[in-house]
Structure formats: C-alpha cells, structure tokens
Structure 1
Amino acid sequence: MAAITFSDAQFKTIGDIMYEAVGLSYSDSKKSLIQSRLAPRIQRLGLEGFADYIAILQDETQASEFQMAVDLLTTNETYFFREPKHYELLEAELSARKSKEPLSIWSAASSFGDEAYSTAMLLSDMQISGKIGPEWSILGTDISHRVLLSAKEGVYPQDRLRDVSADRLRRYCLRGEGESEGQSMVHEKIRSRVQFGQLNLCKPFEGLGPFDVVFLRNVLIYFDAPTKRDVVDRVLQTLKPGGLFFLGTAEGRAQCDTPLITVQPGAFRKVA
C-alpha cells in the first residue's frame, strides 16, 4: 500500500491542534513519528489522507476519534514498581511519620495504573505492619480514556509485574489460567483502594487534594518548557507543605515557581 503523503503544513496543523487541546508539543524532528503513528489509522478508517483526518480532529462531534489520536501520539510504557528507589523513599518517609492520620496520594499521569497499584500494594503492606493507619487512598488520573478503562480492570501481562515480589504476587494478584494464561489481575482488595478519573493536566482544574504525595513521572517529556512549568506548579498546588513530589529520575529537577527541596534524584519535598 502506497505511503500517505504528509505535508509540512499538515504536520503544523496537527501539532497546533494537539498543543491547544492537550499541551502536546512536537519539534520538527517528530514529523516522521506522527506520520508513522497516524497513517495506519487513516488507512483503517478508509480516508484519502491527512487532510481528511485533520477535518475529523477539528470536528468537535468527533471526540472519540480525537481521543484515539491522543492515544496514538503518546507512549504509555510502564511497569510495576518502576524506579524502586522512589518506593523505598516513600516507605521510609511514611514510616517516620509520628501520626497515623489518613493518607492521600495522587498518581497524576497514571497511564495503565501500574504506578497507582504499586503504591497501593506498598501502602497495604505498611498498614498490615502497623506503620500507617487504615485510612489511605490513591487517585490515578490520565488524559487517555482508553488507558483508564484498562487501569480500572487491573489486568496485566505478567512481564509488567516482573518487579513485584513473589510474596506480593501471591497476596495481591490472581494469575490467569486457560485463555488468560500469561496475564494477572490485581486483587479487588487493592483495586478498591484506587480511584481513576480523566484529567487534562494542561487545563485548570479544581477540587483535587490536598495530597500527602504526588507522582508526576515521565509525562513532562511531551510538553514544551512553558507548559512544563505551568503543569508542575498547577499540580504542586494540590500537595501539602512538606509533601513528597516525584518526577521521573531522568527528567532532572522540576522547573517551577513553587519552592522545592531535592531529596534524591526525581524526588522533592514541597517547602512548608
């Protein structure tokens, strides 16, 4: 099948649409990436080319297809207990708390839920051992409706659980059999502790928090510098003074106006 042509003007139009709607920012070097991600979708829909697809993206009645485009243009690679030193720090910090007051944690770019459920497993263990009280909750948000539906189901290829200890797998996961062989489902007692909701971090939001801990890992790579700063400051407004804030280790220091103290690579404390 012949390749679908993708002009510079069409690339700019799609870039403008995605930036305005969800804050995604693409340099000129990303043109081939966008073409490779969207061309198969255009062919599957039976469209003539990118011009027809752009018309769909600009049609407010085609929200589901716009969401599909967002899914195709973002990478949702993740796995359980990614960057384990962050979880070690979280456990140490929560164990050192003198009170057993309720805990509230936000996974602000939760993708398929691996991060949120990893945190829930840790907190469940800490509750059982008496290090924290019984009142704790986790919120996971993402812009993608598709990944949120998957997160709520809590079913994962077993490779995504490769860093979960054998003991936690036994207590918190159900191994699939028959047609579900090779997959595992997070147990209801963990899934019930995590609520998921759709949220665009690039737009103003209200009613969230205050949180004791916020994860914002491996999502800022999609934004330009001004959007990164706006997103980080907006998210940090929901974090309690003294609370922990996590970025991906490779993302460096958070560029923001909110005062932060570096605790370790990718981990920060909001100044009281």
Structure 2
Amino acid sequence: MDTLQDRTFQAFSRLMHEAIGVHFTAAKKPLVASRLAPRIQKLGLGGYEDYLALISGHTAGDAGDGATGGEFQMAVDLLTTNETYFFREPAHYTLIEQEITRTKPLSLAVWSAASSFGDEAYSTAMLLADLQLRGTLGSDWRVLGTDISDRVLRSAIEAVYPEDRLRNVTPERLRRHCLRGSGEAAGMVQVHPKLRERVRFGQLNLCQPIEDIGPFDIVLLRNVLIYFDAATKSAVVDRVLTQLRPGGLFFIGTAEGRVACTTPLQPIAPGAFRKT
C-alpha cells in the first residue's frame, strides 16, 4: 500500500476536526497511517485516498447523533481510542474519597465524560460502592459514562476486561466487585452485575451542544483534551462544565495542564479543580 501523503493526511485531519473536534498535528501522521492501514487492507481498498473518499460522504452528525454503523464511526474509533485501565491517576480517586468523607453526601452524581471502555466509570463506581458500605456516602449515587465511539460503549456495557487492566484494583475490591473468568475465559474479569446496575453509558460528541444531562457533583474529562486544539479545548471544557454544580469537582489528565476557559475554576491539585 502507498504511503500516506501529506495532502491526504491534512484532508483526514480537516475531516476529523470538523466532525468531532479532533486535531492531528503533523507529528501524528505516523499514528494516523498505522491505525488506518489494517482497516484499509481489510476492506480491499487501494490506499489512503480511497479510504478518505469512502468516509468523506459522512457528516459530523453521523458521529454525534448515535449512528451505530458506518465507516466514519469506525475511523473515529481507530483514531481516538487510547490506552485505559482501572484507577488510572490514583491521586484523583484519593481526592474524590477525601471530598466525600468530608461532606458525607446522601446522594452523588458523577460523569465520566470520555469514558472509553468504561474503566474510569467502573473504577469510580467501585470507590463509591465502598464508601456507601462504609457509611460515608448515601445509597443514592450514580455514574454516567459517555463517549463518541459506539464500539467502546458496547464493550463498556459488557464490562469484560483482561486482568492486567485491573492491576491497580486491590484484591479486596476485586473480590467484592468482579467475577473472574474460567476455562476459555481465564485471564478475563467481568464487573459484577450489582455494580454494573449503577453505571449507565451513552454516546455523546463533546464538540456538539450537550443536552441537560446533569447536574453532576463530579465530572471527569481526563486524557481526551490532548486530541483537541486550543480553541476546541476551551469550548469543550466550558460546555462540559455547564453540567457541573457550583462547588463540584472537575478532573482532567494530570499531564494536560490548566485549560483556558471562561468558567471560573479553583485549582486544588494537578489535574483537579473546583467550580467556583
């Protein structure tokens, strides 16, 4: 297969930016090429330009309106799905635990706004279930996970993971909240149905208007802003923060730095803020 030409890469980049806000710099060209090549070969296409022509017939609405099929959605999945695992950036979960221990709320709503395969949403649910068991949190709590990728959302609902993805989960939590596979499913873990009942998932494009899905007490928008340019980052953060209660906690990836936005935020730790 021919190499990915600069003009074709730029066309891919424009298409993704217009549709879902994702910005690919020139440094991302090898990543785009490597992630799309197997799919292009599987479809029997001549190369990157043929694939670009195939997905260019789609619009931003195809990705944001919940379409379950279409090659454009497949391209989105291939180009935006990154590594994830349970209790990633554990200091954030410590902050959540400290906040709940301090306030002892009777109810709590959490939004995992870029939930990918569900690792973050279920990690949060594990923590909240344990705090409820401890008597620190009331029984009225819920977690919402959203993502633009229909494929990862279907996987999140099934909640089946390789054991390595749960390497940061304590043995006690594994026993309480997970079921280990056996036989052909050895090495796999499924989140317990009782915990899955507390978590729901839905498709959402952060670069389009967000319906009133809140308000939330905690919002996690971690490790997704890296895909956006500066203007899109600011717009996405402001849009997401409309769903967070004043005084609520907001988290981004610790390596993503503070994002310029118009919503007043008080920094409380790396990647952690309070809406003022």
TM-score range, shorter chain: over 0.9
Q: Which residue does 1:55 correspond to in 2?
A: 53
1:248 and 1:237 map into 2 onto residues whose CA distance is: 19
Q: Using a 3 Å threshold, how does the CA distance of structure 1 residues 82 and 49 change in structure 2: closer, same or farther? A: same
Alignment counterpart, residue 34 of structure 1, candidates 23, 32, 35: 32
* Letter paired with 1:261: Q
Q: Distance in 1 between matches of 2:262 and 2:132?
A: 35
Q: Show CA shifts across 1:200-259 (max 9, x none).
A: 101111121010000000000000000000000000111000000001111111221111
Q: Is the alpha carbon distance of 1:130 and 1:41 closer, same or farther for their aligned partners in structure 2, counting shifts above 3 Å?
A: same
TM (norm. structure 1) is 0.95
Which residue type is aligned with residue 81 of structure 2? Answer: T
Shift of residue 35 of structure 1?
A: 1.4
Matched pairs, number: 268
Contact kept in structure 1, 2:177 and 2:195, CA below 8 Å: yes
Q: How many Å apart are 1:51 and its aligned residue?
A: 2.0
Q: Please show how residues 80-95 of structure 1 align to structure 2 within 5 Å.
A: 80-95=86-101
Question: Gapped runs of 5+ residues in structure 2?
Answer: 63-68
The code of the aligned residue for 1:80 comes to: F
Provide the residue aligned with 2:66 in structure 1.
none
Q: Give the one of 125, 136, 143 matched to 2:148.
A: 143
Letter in 2 for 1:24: V
Q: CA deviation at 1:166?
A: 0.6
Moved more, 160-169 or 251-260: 251-260
Q: How far 1:98 moved relative to its partner?
A: 5.0
Q: Tell me by how many angstroms 1:12 deviates.
A: 1.3
Tell me the CA shift for residue 16 of structure 1: 0.8
The counterpart of 2:175, out of the listed 170, 177, 181, is 170
Question: Counterpart in 1 of 2:65?
Answer: none
Identity %: 63
Question: Residue type matched to 2:169 in 1?
Answer: V
Pick from 13, 20, 23: which aligns with 1:22?
A: 20
Query: Aligned letter for 1:93?
Result: E
Q: Given the alignment of the two structures, is residue 77 of structure 1 paired with residue 75 of structure 2, yes or no?
A: no
Quote how far apart the aligned CAs of 1:146 are. 0.6
Amino acid at match of 1:18: M
Distance in 2 (CA, whole Å) between partners of 1:34 and 1:83 is 27
Deviations 1:139-181 (A, max 9, x none): 0000111100000000000001111111110110000000000
Query: Among 52, 74, 83, which residue is 1:68 paired with?
Result: 74
Q: Is the CA contact (8 Å cut-off) linking 1:76 and 1:112 kept in structure 2?
A: no
Code of the aligned partner of 1:75: T
For 2:49 and 2:257, the matched residues in 1 are separated by: 38
1:1-272 residue pairs with structure 2 within 5 A?
A: 3-60=1-58, 64-97=70-103, 99-100=105-106, 102-271=107-276
Gaps of 5+ in 1: none
- Secondary structure (helix, strand or coil) at the match of 2:153 reads helix
